[in-house]
């Protein structure tokens, strides 16, 4: 009986611990063809209230900035850098500097030149999410966006 209670208790603790894993950012992806030779890839972050992610333009010595790495492909080439809207700029004591970040949601955009009519744009994004109380470790997220 003691073994059963210990096993049940361990299972409950494991379930509770797992359910408390924080995931305050949800990523989604889309693409829109401009014409036969160009498209825009949209990478959207939906951010829970009280949390924020950092701009691609954070100075050295600050938090981990959001970054994008696109896989090389014979089907397309990148056209310029990944763009982002204007970020909130605020002094953060934790980093002793002004930082740029996004709350609620943000859409990053990457223009591509198509070599074929359709493709799938693949890559990895890296970001860090923080609240006023804590920061979560930086995370890598792989993505694949069909362009038709």
24-45 confidence digits (pLDDT tens): 999 999 999 999 999 999 999 9
Q: Model confidence at 116, in pLDDT bands (50, 70, 90)?
A: confident
Domain that holds residue 83: 23-147
Kindly report the CATH number assigned to the domain that includes residue 86.
Answer: 2.60.40.1250
How many independent structural domains does the chain possess? 1
Q: Does residue 135 lie within any of the structural domains?
A: yes
Q: Does residue 10 lie within any of the structural domains?
A: no
Residue among 102, 106, 110, 98 at smallest CA distance from 129? 102
41-86 confidence digits (pLDDT tens): 999 999 999 999 999 999 999 999 999 999 999 999 999 999 999 9
11-22 confidence digits (pLDDT tens): 444 444 444 689
Say yes or no to pLDDT of 7 above 50: no
Q: Does residue 28 lie within any of the structural domains?
A: yes
Q: In the block, which residue shows the tokens 């397309």?
A: 76
């Amino acid at each position: 009986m003691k073994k059963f209670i210990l096993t049940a208790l361990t299972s409950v603790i494991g379930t509770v611990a797992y359910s408390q894993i924080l995931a305050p950012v949800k990523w989604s992806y889309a693409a829109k063809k401009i014409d036969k030779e160009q498209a825009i890839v949209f990478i959207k972050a939906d951010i829970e209230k009280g949390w924020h992610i950092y701009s691609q333009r954070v100075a050295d010595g600050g938090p981990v900035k959001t970054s994008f790495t696109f896989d090389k492909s014979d089907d397309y080439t990148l056209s310029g850098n990944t763009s982002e809207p204007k970020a909130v700029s605020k002094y953060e004591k934790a980093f002793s500097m002004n930082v740029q970040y996004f709350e609620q949601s943000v859409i990053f955009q990457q223009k591509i030149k198509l070599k074929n009519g359709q493709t799938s744009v693949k890559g990895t994004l890296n970001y860090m999410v923080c609240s006023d109380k804590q920061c979560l470790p930086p995370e890598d997220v792989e993505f694949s966006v069909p362009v038709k």
